[in-house]
Structure 1
Amino acid sequence: MTEPGPDDSSAPDDSSVPGGSSDATGGAAQRSLPAHFREKSPLTDTAGVPWAGRDYTLSPFPEDDGSTPPALADALAVHRRGEDPHRCALVEVLATSRVLVPIMAVATELGATAHGLTGDNGADMAMVSITAPDGSRVLPLFTSVTALSTWRGDARPVPVVAPQAAQAAVQEGCTALLLDPATPTEQGGPILLPRSVLWALAQGRTWIPPHEDPELISVLDQVAAAVGPVTSLVARPGQRSEVDLHLGLVPGLSAEQVQAVVQEISARLGAEPLVAERISSLRLALEG
């Protein structure tokens, strides 16, 4: 599409504008407002609703140009270089960073046109989530408008701070956050922020890796102390899970006794709210 230039004959003249006219000598056009505009009060809008009492909230990011915030870009680079393996620095920066939540139009009402075709009569904007292979829901977050449009060109960005996005994710039943899901593998790929990070951001709490979390370690010690044959229950970074729980047992137990202890430990861990909140996935490993 091209716009008409100054000499383009396709440009409309003033006579084509409602309420406008041009004189024969080429003078300036005289235009007047429609009657309903001339008669309206300056204290109300065109529907007659008063301007007074309205709240116009300023954008919390008035100078945001849609690019990745510099501090967040630096934290991402550090993490992808392997210098922040447990995401501690990244999550700390995220806690005060602007991110973009994607929303899309969802039809709310269908109707038939005069020609018998079915179409949307109404639509709402809804937050987008991703369904993982195990059926859980993940909220995608984006660091920039470019990252969002690369993922879905029809999604609209809503800028919020990451803790607000995490709160929305929890309300929607999401169990994790996925940062920049369209990032190519050669650039490090998307970054999954598990449930422990999600809940820490949503609660405004400093995130600590589970194997270093003193409150969680205290709970694990209590669970271990409640089961006689257990000598230790230690959290360590996992290879295939977020946490490996290394279980120490007294010597001389039969296979059946070991199995019974493992089942009891698993049941006690499952009943601990703090374990569910701060460990996204775990694996029990027998010591020795």
Structure 2
Amino acid sequence: MASNETGPGVPQQRHLPGHIAAALAGAGGVADSAGQPWAGRSLAGEHAKIHNFEDDDGTASGAYLAAIAALREGTGDEAGVVASLASARVFIPIVAQLAEDAEGALGLSSDKQADMALVTLKAADGRTAMPAFTTTAALAAWHPDARPVAVYAARAALSAVAEGAELLVLDPGSEFTFVVRRPGVWALAQQYGWVPSYEDGELAEEMVRAAAGFPAVRSIDLVPGRGVAARAADGTVVAGGGPGPELQVVLYLEDGLDAAGVQELVAGLQAQWSRNVLFGERVDSIEVKLRRADR
């Protein structure tokens, strides 16, 4: 049987897990992101701080830089980079957006009211992405007119979810851009640990169990998809940080299936997987590769 591939799979629209929806509902409420009430606080006094980043020098988190360096050197992985973001500060770009205009002198249009808006991007596959920057210098180089707002990366991930963004893009336009894909964004927003789908043993068990009803499937391998790798500005390829496809599913099939049979089998498997809650939460995008099973 000759090998065959399906193209990158963009997942169907998914409903937010209840815990993320609850976190979004609570944002901007009577308590801060740590659950501490605003009531009774005072900003007076020598040691009072208006926010957590008053003394921030605008440079990148040391843990993040170390994780990126390890990834680029081949001694680290994507999970390590996302883990380093759990306690890291990032900058979200905010830009002025004309909300209402008015006719001024000589009939010229003039700004009457402007709002500040989050910036979002469109990924190559059409999905919405939110940019975030590890340094003020990187943000200024990318968009000189944007205002940097310092937040913890977990809060940036929650904002991405609120904006309908499935990707969090770190340092676009810089020497190396790292993309946190949807499952990693959700994990950051919930402040949970994240394991890439291609290394997720629990997910593999679920997918193998779903394939048990298809006798032509002899075995399954889960490996990084072609879209996991990223390319740095100097042209070097890095084994992580790409936007996807994230997961490659290698199906080892018995001989004897014609093209129609293969197509029906793959469609049936994908339908089974898409109904699995674990798959929906932990897989960003997939591609399927077909191989002949060894006798």
Give the TM-score range, shorter chain.
Answer: 0.7 to 0.9
Equivalent pair of 1:220/1:234 in contact (CA under 8 Å) = no
The CA deviation at 1:165 is 0.5
Matched, 1:151 2:138: no
Match of residue 8 from structure 2: none
Match of residue 21 from structure 2: none
Matched, 1:182 2:158: no
Match of residue 129 from structure 1: 120
- The CA distance in 2 between the partners of 1:137 and 1:255, in whole Å, is 35
**CA 1:54 to 1:198, structure 2 compared with 1: closer, same or farther past 3 Å?**
closer
Match of residue 98 from structure 1: 89
The CA deviation at 1:181 is 0.6
Matched, 1:272 2:270: no
The CA deviation at 1:258 is 2.3
Determine helix, strand or coil for the equivalent of 2:91. strand
Matched, 1:205 2:192: yes
The CA deviation at 1:168 is 0.7
- The CA distance in 1 between the partners of 2:104 and 2:40, in whole Å, is 40
After superposition, residues 1-288 of structure 1 pair within 5 angstroms as: 56=43, 58-84=50-76, 86-183=77-174, 187=175, 189-240=176-227, 241-288=245-292
Q: Which has the higher contact order (CA 8 A, sep 6+)?
A: 2
**CA 1:126 to 1:245, structure 2 compared with 1: closer, same or farther past 3 Å?**
same
What is the TM-score normalised by the length of structure 1?
A: 0.74
Match of residue 28 from structure 1: none
The CA deviation at 1:96 is 0.9
- The CA distance in 2 between the partners of 1:220 and 1:150, in whole Å, is 44
- The CA distance in 1 between the partners of 2:41 and 2:248, in whole Å, is 55
Over the matched positions of the two proteins, sequence identity in percent amounts to 38
- The CA distance in 2 between the partners of 1:280 and 1:180, in whole Å, is 21
The CA deviation at 1:58 is 2.7
Q: Which amino acid aligns with 2:60?
A: T
The CA deviation at 1:202 is 1.5
The CA deviation at 1:129 is 0.7
- The CA distance in 2 between the partners of 1:251 and 1:135, in whole Å, is 37
The CA deviation at 1:229 is 2.8
- The CA distance in 1 between the partners of 2:105 and 2:259, in whole Å, is 75
Cα offsets for 1:69-118 (capped at 9, x unmatched): 2222222222222322x312111111110011111111111111133211
Give unpaired runs (5+ residues) of structure 1.
1-51
- The CA distance in 2 between the partners of 1:257 and 1:76, in whole Å, is 44
Compute the RMSD of aligned alpha carbons: 2.1
Count residues with an aligned counterpart: 232
- The CA distance in 2 between the partners of 1:275 and 1:120, in whole Å, is 48
